Structure 1
Amino acid sequence: MNPREVWVKLGEGGLHAHKTNVYAVIRKLKRGGYSFRLVERGFNGYMVSTRTERYESLEALFKEVSPEDLYRAIQNHPDQEAREVWAEELEFLKGLLEKPAEKKAATPTRQTTLAEVIP
């Protein structure tokens, strides 16, 4: 598998014995930017691919593939060299997906007497 290429599984279709998987193949280009194509891999190994599209930024790719799926695919890539190639994108996606913990403001409490509650 190419270290500059990540396969993101988008879904599967078909019956139990004849499943077809659909992948988004994202390749990091050497001169900047990313290429994107959809690949449908059948149960018998037959593959059908769409035309390759080019994107200049990672944010533009998010209309095709969700950031969570892309992050998971890069993290689970079997090649260690690939994680080094995609290190910058991993840090960006990690920062994008982590939500800052919201601190709840303590509401001030007020003691009341029974005489104030009952008219």
Structure 2
Amino acid sequence: MNRLTFRKGETISQRDTALTSLMIGRSGVVAIDERDDNETLELSRLAPGDFFGERGVLLGALEFADYRALTAAVIYEVPKDKIAQIMRERPAIAEELALLLDNRTRAEEALHRDDHPHASAHQLALSKRIRQLSMV
């Protein structure tokens, strides 16, 4: 892991970028912000122990929002190759990450649409794609 430090107000990751590492909060508070027409809306906050970046690491997908240090923050960065190694050693982690990613995706869709489709096979498809990462 790499230890990264961020000052209050500093951007950790920007919307529409694909992270190549899983980011785990060690200390501080991270805000998840969405910008629209020169307005910033805080969607959520992450506390120590929370993580983000899984969509880029696992799926190559872009982040849906900006991540900003609301306070001084220390973030541990776990590169994609290390995540793949961990999943080879503990395959159940792929299932857990698929469930988490599915839940986060649905929550993000709910923020942007009042009635969104619930794909019953969505978690299963995510799980399959994540397991393929551990084969690399």
More helix by share: 2
The verdict on a shared fold, with TM-score over 0.5 as the criterion, is: no
More strand by share: 2
TM-score, structure 2 length as denominator?
0.28
Q: Max radius of gyration: which structure? A: 1
